Amino acid sequence: MESFDLLLGGFAAALHPAVFLVLAFGLVTGTVAGALPGISFVNAMAMALPFTYLMQPTAAMAFLGGIYVGGVFGGSISSILINIPGTPASLPACWDGHPMTRAGKPQMALRIALTSSATGGLASALLLTFAAPPFARFALTFDQPEFFAATVLGLVSVIAIAKEQPILSLLSMFLGMLIGTVGVDPLYGMPRFGFGQPMLQSGVNWIVVMIGLFAVAEVIDLICEERELRPKAAGGGSISFRGLWGLKNSILRGTGLGCMIGMIPGAGATVGAVIAYGVEKQASGKGARFGTGVPEGLAAPEAAKNATTGAAMIPLLTLGIPGSAATAIMLGAMILHGINPGPLLFTSDVSTVYTIFAAMILANLLMIVAALAVAKGFSTLMRVPPAVLGAFIIVLSVVGAYGVRNNIFDVYVCLFFGLVGWGMKRTGFPTAPLVLGVILGPLAERYFLTSLVNYDNDYAIFFTRPISGTILGLAVLFGLWSLWPAIQDLRHRRAGRTTPLDHTGRVPEDG
């Protein structure tokens, strides 16, 4: 009852006109920044940090929280409408969201994504409000081996999203991991795979690779095939409340996974979205059709990535440990305003804590309005001529690639991977695993090496620590579960059968 009274006081503070206005402005800013490829809502939060100097602490946290919540969803708008992920966590939205747009159902895809994201985000905010202390004690048991295990689980998810190309997808992922090793060794500081080029010592940025593989490659393919980026039908499709209710299991599964993964420092929305997509591919019963515009394939990762927002703030507020780059910026803002996160915060400044809780809940509710407004503006792009749209995307891609590190070399890398992505698309070589390898590969390497340093080069530490061993065991089971249809198919082919198997690993009855 006391917690409920404190939450009511938090809502009263968050609904103060000054706080509410900056929260709403932050939502719109984050949604737009997330929807623009290469801009990134994290960059928007970093740029917004100096503007919080003159704000009250609660207003500053509401402002940054609004950018955070809006930005995590915003990347899905460009993913769904023009097949360009605004953020890495929005990559799964391309796989089933954009095919829905190509089929003339952009409004349906956006409504599914928005409903799922709002549900996941709201559940995560409520989790943050009522379950922060016990979950924080659990997160406190995580160390480098657990972070490594969680990242491995994200990489194993590539097998689940591989469709009928598990070998090619694994090769693509390993290629991405190899690209991620270019630069300086994270442990010894030695340059590697630079081939004598000083510009490669800073590494290949995954944002630049993602922009090239998806944005530039899409425009090249557009030009070569003389096709349109616009949907085939003008109606835009729709979905009823009953249709959305039919996705409740997918949304709940994604929300649960996102909440669990979000509170693991370092895992983040990308890992949550990818794992949720892989799990949903196996659990929905429609795995064979994933990638063709299946609503479940869009709902689950959308719910998962927004469910990480509130969960990532649990270790931030209770332990002072940021769970993502965005929460690291929020940690800086808290310290700047004299707020010291940790267990004592819940007794020394409880009103500020519950105002943050209320602001996160309000942000997820208001996100629906902000996202619809931004999506409507982006939908206007679908009505411009393809040549103009293609030129706009190229300019935006070049500006975004340059803005990542203010480096002209990144622009060349972006254009190079645009050609690579177009070639992979034409040859049927999957590009998504490559991007995931570039993102998660360096994380896995860093956690692996620091684990060995911290535990005297004991390789058994990954399996003897209960949580790390459990997560790695789940990764193995998940990989075998995902590969089982392919293994069964191989066994039947060796036995002389030629009938293909369905997604459950069985011969169809009519076969």
CA dist 365 and 447 (Å) reads 36
Would 175 be classed as within a structural domain?
yes
Could you report the per-residue pLDDT of 494-507, keeping only the tens digit for each? 776 555 555 444 54
pTM over 0.75: no
CB 434 within 8 A of CB 173: yes
Would 206 be classed as within a structural domain?
yes
Would 511 be classed as within a structural domain?
no
Picking from 12-21, 220-229, 499-508, which range would have the lowest pLDDT averaged per residue? 499-508
Instruction: Count structural domains, the chain.
Output: 1
Would 221 be classed as within a structural domain?
yes
| Whether residue 414 has pLDDT greater than 50 | yes
Could you report the per-residue pLDDT of 40-95, keeping only the tens digit for each? 677 788 778 778 888 888 899 999 999 998 888 888 888 888 787 877 788 888 88
Would 510 be classed as within a structural domain?
no
Kindly indicate the confidence band of residue 146, based on its pLDDT and cuts at 50, 70 and 90.
confident
Would 506 be classed as within a structural domain?
no
- Residues contacting residue 295 through CB under 8 Å, at least 6 positions apart: 96, 100, 108, 112, 239, 243, 247, 250
pLDDT at site 23:
93
CA dist 235 and 376 (Å) reads 14
Would 507 be classed as within a structural domain?
no
| Whether residue 349 has pLDDT greater than 90 | no
Would 431 be classed as within a structural domain?
yes
CB 308 within 8 A of CB 69: no
Range of the domain at 338: 2-494
Residue with tokens 């790390």: 468
CB 433 within 8 A of CB 426: no
CB 417 within 8 A of CB 216: yes
